[in-house]
Amino acid sequence: MCHPRPYAYAHHVPSLTFLSSGTYNPATSWLQHTDSIDKMAEFTHFNESGRARMVDVTGKDLTERLATALAKVFLLPETLEKIQRGKIAKGDVLAVAQVAGVMGAKRTPDLIPMCHPIVLTSVDIAFKEESQPDSQGRCSITITATAKTTGPTGVEMEAMTAASVAALTIYDMCKAVDRGMSFGDVCLLSKSGGKSGTYTRGGRG
């Protein structure tokens, strides 16, 4: 009787005992083959066993924290014109995107696993339209999202989520007329508050 050959990669799979011992974590195994104890200290979202955790912010001071993020949507000139003239069938594109950005900021801890649920005291979304096509013939809408809170942890992720969700909403509102829209330049522009102080993109905090 012919027996099937074992899979070639079987010897690479750790045993159940090894997996359940708490010493192996695929996401951080590269750390465990080096000076793991020293390396783990540098990554606050990992515990001593290399498992993901939410950082303990219990002892941190409650300070006013502000963060501003940016995202860009690139689209055809005729699509931008339709948005400006209110000719998109789904409705007022930027008004809907603005509300979506605020909602996205509030749902950040539901989307980003290690984000703390925080009380946002302000979320503001602004748009800047660029009607002059670039070298690829695309116009753009720049989204700026600013989030604010008073608490033990920052709002960088809330601001970036707000900008990203607003960009995705513009796509959803306009995809029937321009499926080739794209996104770019999603980044943190600035933040203030907390132990790390002030950060400004392209400058010094």
Query: CATH number for the domain including 188?
Result: 3.30.70.640
| Domain shared by 29 and 107, yes or no | no
Q: So what's the pLDDT on residue 194?
A: 86
Q: So what's the pLDDT on residue 60?
A: 72
| Domain shared by 76 and 127, yes or no | yes
- Determine, yes or no, domain membership for 3: no
Q: So what's the pLDDT on residue 19?
A: 39
| Domain shared by 105 and 180, yes or no | yes
- Determine, yes or no, domain membership for 94: yes
| Domain shared by 177 and 119, yes or no | yes
Give me the catalytic one of 35, 56, 134, 172. Answer: 172
Task: Name the residue range of residue 45's domain.
Answer: 12-53
Convert the chain into a string of H (helix), E (strand) and C (coil). Answer: CCCCCCCCCHHHCCCHHHHHCCCCCHHHHHHHCCCHHHHHCCCCCECCCCCECCCCCCCCCCEEEEEEEEEEEEECHHHHHHHHCCCCCCCCHHHHHHHHHHHHHHCHHHHCCCCCCCCEEEEEEEEEEECCCCCCCCEEEEEEEEEEEEECCCCHHHHHHHHHHHHHHHHHHHCCCCCCCEEEEEEEEEEECCCCCCEECCCCC
Q: So what's the pLDDT on residue 24?
A: 46
Chunked into runs of 10 residues, the chain (205 residues) has average pLDDT values of 48 42 48 48 62 72 93 98 97 98 97 92 98 97 97 94 98 98 96 91 69
Structural domain count, the chain: 2
Is 172 among the catalytic positions?
Answer: yes
| Domain shared by 47 and 83, yes or no | no
| Domain shared by 97 and 41, yes or no | no
- Determine, yes or no, domain membership for 147: yes
| Domain shared by 184 and 98, yes or no | yes
Q: So what's the pLDDT on residue 31?
A: 47
| Domain shared by 21 and 103, yes or no | no
| Domain shared by 41 and 135, yes or no | no
| Domain shared by 107 and 32, yes or no | no
Q: So what's the pLDDT on residue 3?
A: 53
